[in-house]
Amino acid sequence: MKHFFFLLPVVVLLLGSCSSTKFTTNYDKSIDFSKYKTLEYYGWTEGSAYRLSTFDKQRIEQAFAREFKQRGVEIVPKGSGGDLIVSLYIVKQNKTSYTSTTVSTGGGYYGYGYGGFYGYGPGWGYGPGFATTAVHAVDYKVGTLICSVFDASNKVLIWEGVISGTISEDADERARNTPKMISYLMKKYPVKPKK
């Protein structure tokens, strides 16, 4: 079933804040998505498994399972003939952001006092100016998660959702944010959650 999956060009969003997340989806508008009632989870495509911890993978899988279930799609065991096949793929990249700060002094007055520079009275003059620049480097990880949904009967890609953004180093924060991010992405799925 690996021939079902084709690798999309991965677009990673890097904004100045380094904390932005981008959600994009694309789907076949001629498909009636409400007809699909079961889903087979294909798993993580080759090369994705080592990029995430077991806990992160489980959180992502469980979040997608909840979202599909809310839309009336039941998860069935792999190989049992589900209406849909879902495949997940992740790309992680190490990035570095650089910022620089320059502090300068434009020189100042000096030489005021009795006698001045050349004899009597106050003396005025400019001193030299100084500037210094500090460059700060911040390392961070950018991840792109791709969820591909296929029609199992004809092996055709019918929906794809992509999340791109900075990955938090804090495991608790990832645990809190993963379901929210996937829920936000799934708002763009053609079938809305049931009340």
73 φ, ψ to 5°?
-110, 120
Determine the Cα–Cα distance for residues 34 and 4; give it in Å rounded to an integer. Answer: 22
Q: 67 with 189: CB under 8 angstroms?
A: yes
Determine the Cα–Cα distance for residues 37 and 134; give it in Å rounded to an integer. Answer: 58
pLDDT, residue 34, reads 95
pLDDT, residue 193, reads 93
Helix (H, G, I), strand (E, B) or coil at 103: strand
Domain boundaries, the chain: 11-98+138-186, 99-136
pLDDT, residue 1, reads 43
Domain 11-98+138-186 has CATH 3.30.160.670: yes
DSSP 146: E
Q: Sheet containing 74-76: give its strands across.
A: 21-27, 156-167, 130-151, 84-105, 38-44, 74-76
pLDDT, averaged in runs of 10, over the chain (195 residues): 36 38 94 96 74 86 95 92 92 63 58 49 54 60 86 95 86 90 96 89
pLDDT, residue 64, reads 96
